[in-house]
Amino acid sequence: MGVLNFIINEIFNQGAIFLALIACIGLILQKKSFSEIVRGTLTTAIGFYILSCGTGLITGNSIDGISAAFNAVTPSAVASKTVDIGAEFGTQIGIVMIIAFAVNVLVARFTKWKSIFLTGHMLYWFPFVFIAAGVDAGLTGGKLIGLAAVFTAVYMIVSPNLMKPLVKSVTGDDSFTIGHPTTCLSLLSAGLATLFGNKEHSTEDLNVPKSLGFLREISITGSITIAITYIVLYFILVANGKDPGTIWGYAGGTTGIFTYIFTHAIYFGVGITVMLQGVRMMIAEIVPAFKGIADKIVPNAIPALDVPVIFPYAPNALLIGFIVAMITSIITLLLTSGMFPTVVIPLISTCFFETGCAAIIGNAKGGVRGCIIGAAACGIVMVFLVGFGAYFFNNTIQQWMLVYGGQDFSLWGIVEGFIARLIA
């Protein structure tokens, strides 16, 4: 158990260590010099942490107040029983992680499905979701672990391979794919963009007047967008008799609403800048290093990486997709109020990360029109996924799903939860 816990907690559950170890093994197999091995290994870890810092600035220092504002003006959700799945079922999650990753490597070695899932934190979160769905259905013991392991392994194999041609349509090569719960939204966006879009008019070729040339910088445009969002939310809070200072936590301090909005908006731009820098560093090291593993252990294998690695290829599409998904998802959750056994709140994280990727793919398949149509559809679908997912997670992790659901977590969790109920 000590060895198992070390592998689970100190390697698989630590994205920087896991990716650095993969890079190190790849460089050793390529017989690189000691200096190159050290440089490549540490640069991979540094790039991962820079990416994580950027993501944290966006979710924790920039858009966190948006959800807080909506929570203040919407009715309370139906009571749900929260279970600390990570604490109570940590060993089961770890066993599922190891089994699923081993199956992924074996399948990549002996079949045409060549992707290897390397998104460290997602190696944990998918077993977490599948264990929760099983527990909610009443499964225990071997049935719980077995079903979660099957779903985790299948997801780690199928999803990145479905994403591979979509990623290639964006990047122009297939040196990596995406291992992230954006797949269902990205497939939806790609399909709609292909049908209704025009790839000749890309979001990255939009004509911006010289006087507005600063809008070409996604960090600046994003900051302005977030500032406008907070200003609108301020007046919504006031109109509903709420005190923005109390809701957003600056009441009684030395600063007021101006500083709050300014800093939250600027943190978005900082987060984008930092995140993209981390992506560039990590990709520059992990993809060439992974070639050693592909050549020696799993021929022709490609890494399935975290979703921000695709963001630098179409930053305008990322921002447009985020804005469109925010608008359509908020309209949808208002129109569907009372339809689900929970109150859905704005899915800010899903709008940015998962739908951001879907919008970039929509742009590759159908240009500006494809990006907008794909993101709009994703904004609608994610609300229904979270809403119907409450039937399968309301006794375990529904509060967590209100923040991080609305994509593959919800869709695959619903499917597994249905099967788990048949088995139970």
Report the number of distinct structural domains present in the chain. Answer: 1
Which parts of the chain register pLDDT below 50? none
**Residue 2: per-residue pLDDT:** 80
pLDDT score for 264: 93
Closest-CA residue to 385 (of 420, 342, 331, 421):
342
Q: What is the rounded (10 degree) CA torsion for 210, 211, 212, 213?
A: 40
Show the tokens assigned to 290: 């992974």
The residues, any chain, with a CB within 8 Å of residue 214's CB and separated by 6 or more, are: 220
pLDDT for res 195: 97
As a whole number of angstroms, the distance between CA 394 and CA 344 comes to: 13
Amino acid 286: pLDDT: 85
Cβ–Cβ under 8 Å, residues 285 and 44: yes
CB 301 within 8 A of CB 115: yes
Provide the token pair at 413.
């969790």
Rounded distance between C-alpha atoms, residue 406 and residue 326, angstroms = 13
| Dist. CA 230–CA 258, nearest whole Å | 10
Report which of 347, 363, 319, 385 is spatially closest to residue 170, judged by C-alpha positions: 363
CA dist 290 and 24 (Å) reads: 9
What is the distance in angstroms between the CA of the first residue and the CA of the last residue of the chain? 28
pTM: 0.84
Residue 76: the pLDDT is 59
Range of the domain at 132: 2-423
pLDDT at residue 113, as a whole number: 94
